[in-house]
Each structure stands twice: as C-alpha cells, then as structure tokens.
Chain A
C-alpha cells in the first residue's frame, strides 16, 4: 500500500461519468433473451470489476459497498428489482439518465435544436447560464441526459420507450424507496439550505424551479461568499502579518516529535497493546477500571508520570504523590498555588472575585503564609489584575510557576526515592497489592 500524496477526490458524478465513457467505461450492450431484446444493460460483476480496476480498490467487498451506494442514489439500477442494491453476479443494470433537474435538461435540449425560431430568449439564456454555474461539474451529466431525451423525443422508438419507462420507475425507487431501504435523498440539515438554492438569485421571469434534487451526494456547494468589509480586510492583514512573524519548526523536527510521542505511548494504547489484565469490553470484566480508580497506582501508570510534568498533573494519584513529596521537602507552595489557580478557573464566574482574593492573600500578598516567588514582571501584572479580578488574573504568575516546577520540583520528584519506590512497588509487593 503506498501512502497517498495528493489524491484527487472525485465526486460521485465524475465517477459515473467515467463509468459511462465510450472508451474506458463499462461496456453497454443489448442482450437477446428468448423472444425479446434487453437494451442498454451491463452486469453487476462488470460494475464491481470496473470499480476495482479504475479506483484502485484491493478488496471486492469495498467495491461492492461503493457500487451499492451508487445504486441506492439512483445512478444505475437493477432492471428487475425495486430494491436498489448491487450484486456481484450476472444481474442486469442500466444507467439512469432521467434528470435530476428537469428545467436544466429542458433548456439544454432546446439549444440542441438548430432551428432559428427555437433559439433561446434572453431570460432563458440567462437562466441557462445560471444553471450551468450552479451545476458546475454535473453539467456533463445534464447534457448527456438532454441528448438522450432529445433522441427519444425524435425517435419514439419502442426500445427507447422501454428504456425510458424503466428509468422512470427507478427514479421513483430513489425518491420513494421500498420500505426498509435507505432514502438517499435525505440531506444533513446543516447543508440543506445550500443544496436547494446553490445561488440565491432574484426571481427571474422564467423562475428557477425548486428542482427535485439539485445536490450531489458527495459534494457540498460552497456557501455564499460574503464580500469582506474594509475593517475585516484590515483585520485580516494584521493577522497575516502576525502569522508571518511566527517561529516555525522544520518538518523533520516535527515529524520526529510525532513519531517519538506515538512510540512512547504505544504500550498504553489499547488498540495497539492489549490492556492488562484485560479490555473490559472484550472480557466483560471491569477489573481494569477498578484498578484505575484505586489509590494504588500500577507500575505502568507510575512509569507514565516520568514522561512529562503534564502526566503527573493530570493524574489525580500523580498529583497527590507529587504534593506529598513536595510537602516532605517543605516546598509545596508552588504546586498548591498552581492547583488553586486551576480550581478558580473551574468555578462559576460569580465566585471568582472572592477566590482570587483568597489566593492573593495566601500566596502573593506581602507577608503571605505560602509565599511563592514570581518574576517582577508577572508580579506587577498580577497586582494590576486583582484590582479587577477575572478568571485569568493569575495567568502570568501561573505560567512562571509552571515553568519553575517543570525544571526544578518535577525533576527532583522523578529522581526521588519516593517515586522510585512506587515504580518498583509492583515488583516488591505484587501479590499483596489488592
């Protein structure tokens, strides 16, 4: 399997158009059956084979699934069944050519007739141009349908009639599916307003009909672009200038970092390494979760605390152990301050001013009982902030303290005998832990 570089993403319509290509598409033929002829068909296996070959699919199951979706959306249909699904066998299928946009097809057909008196009027030409823009990539499909319909109108051949009747029936199988089948015309409501009116235009004399289905099942039209105001543009310019000044890392460094991180956590990822003792979802045994909730941390969990200070801070047992260690050294004020500031950010806004004052008194005010050391710049800013206390009053001080803990207290904790004992604990008293 090769990694993808720039993969072109085809829309459903583009894939269908390729399937109908005279040279490289699926061969369409007329099959003689007893006394009748079955026109314009191809088999299910031919569809599957074509998809495998042309969309670089390895597994026939995947090709069958994609083909079934195409059938469910009505792009081709089984000629003898209402249930729109794909079978990888000799079952016959036919392409749908009935449109999806009757007005677009009608206008398109009109332009094919070379008679002067049937030339489009201005408002019709305008309508046609708008529709062409609205349908964009789908226009080939519409053109093809117009040609097919024009042919039929001219010939009124029995065979063509037969084809058209089957297509009409299949059209309704999509829009009024057999009970139990998926209705593929349903749209995500977040996108639906764009689907129905790809371009909100003034109502013309001709009028843009609310065509039955103007959307692609695979591509969403872009939302209407608002013209930016002068202010917005100024803002954009400032933003780009700031971005240009940003310090960036080289890809090689970043890639090494991403690789390193995933390798480090490989053994902790239940999708890569089965958890010990078992994955509760598989074994129906919740021991793993009970162990996590207990106060006695397992060796694997303790090992993780050494990966970085964040690992200790986000694990409640890790925090507890870290705090315990610092208290034994009489240097716990930094961590307590950090934890207190995290707490205040979690409180309702109503409680914030009081809490901020309490923290100030405890850690930063002159003569504070748990005085912490912050740089003068942060101290100055904080003094200002508490005059109008908000959730981020201690942000600068907290950042300074975090860096301090990371380089000093945390490293000491990991090197400490207390931590090392916990790390070895499972080996010492593995049988007695629980």
Chain B
C-alpha cells in the first residue's frame, strides 16, 4: 500500500498508530507443547523456503531472456488509425444482469444467460429470440454453444453444468430434455465444449477445472492446482493441442495438459483476481483481464508476461477479454461500463467505447471476427462493429 507523508493537522493521510498496550496476546506456550510442535513446523518452514527459493530462481531465469520489449519490436509496424466502432445490434429481453454469452459457429446466433436464471438463444443478426429456458437457480454465470449448433450448456449457483439440446420445434419445452453433466462443489464459473458436442470443460468456485463426457456425465479428467476459485478458462485453438488455460482468484493463470491433468505452466503477475483468459489466435500466447484494472499478455514460448495494457485513468476491473481475428486488437470489457480496445503489439489504447449503462460482464468476438458481442448488468447485449 502507499506511504503518504504526514502533513498538516487535518490530514487524511495520517496513519493511525496501533494501541501501545498489547494485553490481547496469548500467554506463551508451555515448554512441552513447544518441543512437540517444532519439528513439524520446521519441516513445513523448510519446504516453504525451498519452494520460494525455486520460484525466485525461475523468475531470474525467465528475466534473463528479456532482451527487448514487445512494443519496441513493434515500432516498425504501421500504427493503427482512428477507430470508430459502433453498436450495430442491441438485444433486449433479459430481465436482469447478463452474466455470460457465447457465439454459435454459424457466426450469427448467440446464447446468453442472466442473474434471473434465464438462458436465451438469439439470432443476433435479426435480433429474434429463438429459444428460452429458465434455470432452477439464479446467477447463471456460464453458458456455451455446442460446436454443432444443436445444443447449449449452462450453469452457475447450482454448482452444475447442464446441456440442453436445441429443438427445431419452437414450442417444445427445452427444460424437459435437460441433461445434467458436471457436478462441482461450488459455483460453476465457466464452461466450454471442446471441439465436440461430447465433451465439456468446466471451471468452478471449488478451485478445480474438470473435463466431462456429456453423454454419460462421467468425469474424464480433473485439474487441481489453483489455491482459490477458478473464474475462467479457454481452450487452445490448436488442431493438435490438448491444452487449455485457466485464471483464478489466486491471481494465477495456469496452462493445463488435458490428457494428464497436470499443470504445465503457471504465471502469477496480476495483483488481483483474474476474471478472463483468452488465447492469442496462434495459440502461442494468451491474454488475461483482472480486477487489478489491467490486461496482460503472456507468451508460452518465452514463458513470461510480455505486455501490460493499462492506463492511470482506468481504475475499474476487467471482466472479460478477447482478440480480434489477427490478434492485433484486444477488446476488454470493464466494470466501469466501458470497452477499451488495445493495440496488442504497441501496448496503446486505440479506442474507448461507451454505451452500456452498467458493468460489462462478458465479451466475445464472433467466430469469423466480423463483430464482437458484449453482455452487461444493464440487462442488454450489444453487437459491435467497425464503421468504415
């Protein structure tokens, strides 16, 4: 925290001294108790020190290869001009805070979920609602579209992830066909189908991620390593890879091997919760957004943070991030109701977008990169495009 110099009589920066008398301290341990406890504490302390030392050594090794900054290398790249981005569609229909959304592979349909338990499937191009389902719980924090476009998954405070097949018959009751797939011991924070309708990857407030077989509900693999709630995840875009990245309240971003369940890389440079992680389109890097009001870029080959996207005037947390198709632009949805657009290579902000009347809670670029969609606590979703 900051240290302000004391000044004047009416100073808001004066630190309150702690009380002089410390009568509330417990009496010292009796000698017998002391000898019993020492060996165990010593082993733990020793291990802790060893772990800390190795961690520091790793930071040193990582820093050794830091011969240049990304924005320096990017100086030779032509600057981006003025950007005018506007809302092209506004989707109204949720009765409460929109918490999550996902695009269908057809590039026009989306699924969204809200605090009042409603999950809606829209044709965002026409703004028509195509399906709606009411979940038995409030705060549906996660939703995802299946690759086939024939199902959606969602969950939240119910600690589960459920799959609803989408019927062509609009009159059919979607809720009747609901399939319960994932079971966590705390809230579901995010879910994503793999490249198949048959597997779902989930993250939870219980500190774990898990891979599930949709048909049977069987747990295929679990991922342990976060020290607190996991808030987000993203699958690597590779055709061959079996990895994904997760971010949590422990300020860590972890890269996982889906086959073994092992954490293969870990990054801890944020100062607060990581609310969103998204891979750079080549799969060699990923971006994160945090409550510390910054977005950061981590490269997997360099094994370190390679850029920070922040400004003094941005003091509210980032809820959600995504890249444009080429990876040149990073879009961030913030808790101050705005969207900031960053030049990923040069590290500068190219645009700030106003429009939502409350927090932006979710943001995704469409599958072909022609637009991006945001969801907000103001109950609406907006589709944004570049005006040219």
List residues of chain A with CB under 8 Å of any chain B CB: 1-12, 14-15, 17, 20-23, 51, 55-57, 59, 61-63, 65-66, 69, 108, 111, 120, 122-123, 125-126, 128-129, 132, 136-137, 139-141, 143-144, 147, 182, 186, 189-191, 217-220, 222-223, 225-226, 228, 230, 233-234, 236-237, 239-241, 243-244, 246, 248-259, 261-266, 268-272, 274-275, 279-282, 286, 288-289, 292, 310, 313-314, 342, 345-350, 391-392, 395, 398-399, 402
Contact = CB atoms under 8 A, between A and B. Distances in A.
A395 B50 CA distance: 35
Nearest to B76: A259
21 contacts: A10-B315, A15-B315, A22-B10, A55-B312, A56-B312, A57-B313, A128-B19, A147-B10, A186-B377, A218-B316, A220-B317, A222-B272, A254-B302, A254-B306, A256-B73, A258-B306, A261-B280, A271-B329, A279-B371, A349-B216, A392-B242
Contacts of B231: 190
Given A9-B293, A255-B73, A189 B157 contact: yes
Contacts of A182: 357-358
B293 A218 contact: yes
Contacts of B346: 3
Given A248-B302, A249-B302, A11 B58 contact: no
Nearest to A278: B370
A256 B70 CA distance: 8
B88 interface: yes
B196 interface: yes
Given A254-B299, A258-B280, A233 B47 contact: yes
Contacts of B74: 255, 259
A275 B370 contact: yes
Contact of A56 (B1, B62, B313): B313
B295 to A, nearest CB: 11
Contact of B370 (A20, A222, A280): A280
Nearest to A263: B77
A189 B326 contact: no
Interface centre among A51, A222, A275 (most CB of B within 10 A): A222
B136 to A, nearest CB: 16
B344 A262 contact: yes
- Contact count band on B: 35 or more
B69 to A, nearest CB: 7
A190 B204 CA distance: 10
B306 A262 contact: no
B44 A9 contact: no
A66 B313 contact: yes
A251 B304 CA distance: 9
A282 B4 contact: no
Contacts of B357: 182
B205 A262 contact: no
A392 B259 contact: yes
A256 B385 CA distance: 29
Nearest to B294: A9
Given A137-B2, A256-B73, A125 B24 contact: yes
B386 A270 contact: yes
A348 B198 contact: yes
Contact of B345 (A250, A251, A258, A310): A258
B61 to A, nearest CB: 6
Contacts of A111: 16, 19
Nearest first, the 8 A-B pairs at minimum CB distance are A346-B196, A3-B347, A240-B54, A265-B326, A269-B326, A255-B73, A348-B215, A233-B47
Nearest to B11: A22
B234 interface: no
Contacts of B316: 69, 217-218
Chief secondary structure at chain A's binding surface? helix
B327 A262 contact: yes
A434 to B, nearest CB: 19
Nearest to A151: B10
A248 B312 contact: no
Contacts of B386: 270-271, 274, 279
Given A10-B312, A14-B2, A252 B44 contact: no
Contacts of A217: 316, 335
B325 A265 contact: yes
A108 B369 contact: no
Contacts of B242: 392
Interface string B282-319: 10110000011110000101111010111111011100
A122 B313 CA distance: 42
Interface in B27-57: 43-44, 47-48, 50-51, 54-55, 57
A289 B327 CA distance: 21
B302 A250 contact: yes
A137 B272 CA distance: 15
A9 B62 contact: no
A239 to B, nearest CB: 7
B132 interface: no
B249 interface: yes
B92 to A, nearest CB: 16
